[in-house]
Amino acid sequence: MGAISFFTKRLIGIAIVVLSVSIFMFILLRSIPGDPARLLAGFDAPPEVVQQIRERYGLNDPLPLQLAKYLENLLTFNLGTSVRTDTPVLNEVMSRLPYTLYLSLASLAIAIAVGIPLGAYAALKKDSIMDYVATGLTSIGTAMPTFWLGLMLILFFAVQLKCLPAGGAESASSIILPALTLSLPVMAPITKTTRFTFLEVLREDFVKLAKAKGLRKKTVIFKHVLRNAMIPVLTVVGLQMGNLMRGAVITETVFAWPGVGRLVVDSIFARDYPMVQGAIFILALIYAFINLAVDSLYAAVDPRIRLGGGA
């Protein structure tokens, strides 16, 4: 199967995902107990406003027609206007998106920069102190409540030492604490997989041969072991998008970081349903496209992976 049909297939997949997300949200909004127009208007709104909203959102139309209109709007990226600020939802989400991407990329970079060398070192010096550190970090990293870690870092660095800001995004150093917080749950699986894969590759015959040939240790590790261990490690890095997104929503709330995750949470409490819907829609869309990009990357790195094969 060629590259073109691979992408067509995946794009159809993305379309199905987006469609199901939208229908899911549509059903959710319609299953709210009570009148959606009253919810959108706010509980203390006068009846004329509620009536106006009912007409504006076409809530008097039959349900299938409402669904069709709703999907048509999504297709043209017309995500509606915010109930709170009366600005287009899309603009607000797009202005917050760079912050979420910056935070996620910084965390991913820390996780990779620490996780891969640590996992590799732990495998090379199996049963050493560093190996126990790596294994411990893996277990604790997986079990760590992100919000608690964030608050503990604020307590230590912002309240006690007063050397880093506790929140916001005003200064350049504001990124440090949130990025550290978000990197831990991502670092744990990367370290674990690197260590495990390195141990596997170190047992391979070609590594034994390279050593027996008298190659220098450095050459064996970098040229033979590292290259062969990279595919599983890359896979795990690619699988971290879900982890990153979950962490981002919580980390942004802890550190008052002005990203999309915090926008979702704030909008929920402001009962700004169009904003909640729009932001979740955009996040799901980005998630789907990143997954497509990651899958294509494997194919580029490993010629054995045929595009379109298997999944």
Torsion, Cα 167 182 119 152, to 10 degrees, reads 50
Site mask for another protein (CB under 8 A), range 192-211, x = bound: ----x--x------------
Residue 145 within binding range of another protein, rule CB under 8 A = yes
Residue 246 within binding range of another protein, rule CB under 8 A = yes
Residue 234 within binding range of another protein, rule CB under 8 A = no
Residue with tokens 């991502």: 186
Interface pick for another protein out of 2, 117, 168, 242 (rule CB under 8 A): 242
Residue 305 within binding range of another protein, rule CB under 8 A = no
Residue 7 within binding range of another protein, rule CB under 8 A = no
Residue 220 within binding range of another protein, rule CB under 8 A = no
21 to 60, contacts with another protein by CB under 8 A?
Answer: 21, 24-25, 28-29, 31-33
Q: Shortest CA distance to 280 belongs to which of 296, 261, 308?
A: 261
Residue 142 within binding range of another protein, rule CB under 8 A = yes
* Integer Cα distance of 267 and 258 in angstroms: 13
* Integer Cα distance of 176 and 258 in angstroms: 15
Q: Please, which residue, 94 or 268, has the CB nearer to another protein? A: 268
Interface pick for another protein out of 108, 134, 229, 249 (rule CB under 8 A): 249
Interface pick for another protein out of 16, 65, 75, 94 (rule CB under 8 A): 16
Residue 146 within binding range of another protein, rule CB under 8 A = yes
Q: Is the Cβ–Cβ distance between 137 and 187 less than 8 Å?
A: yes
Residue 151 within binding range of another protein, rule CB under 8 A = yes
> With CB under 8 A as the contact rule, which of the stretches 4-12, 80-88, 207-215, 263-271 interacts with another protein?
263-271
> With CB under 8 A as the contact rule, which of the stretches 10-18, 44-52, 86-94, 208-216 interacts with another protein?
10-18
Q: Is the Cβ–Cβ distance between 118 and 134 less than 8 Å?
A: yes
Q: Please, which residue, 113 or 163, has the CB nearer to another protein? A: 163
Q: ∠ CA(100), CA(138), CA(111), 5° rounding?
A: 35
> With CB under 8 A as the contact rule, which of the stretches 3-11, 53-61, 65-73, 283-291 interacts with another protein?
283-291
Residue 287 within binding range of another protein, rule CB under 8 A = yes
Q: Please, which residue, 43 or 269, has the CB nearer to another protein? A: 269
Residues that bind another protein (CB under 8 A): 13, 16-17, 20-21, 24-25, 28-29, 31-33, 139-140, 142-148, 151-152, 154-155, 159, 166, 196, 199, 241-242, 245-246, 249-250, 253-254, 264-265, 268-269, 273, 276, 280, 283-284, 287-288, 291
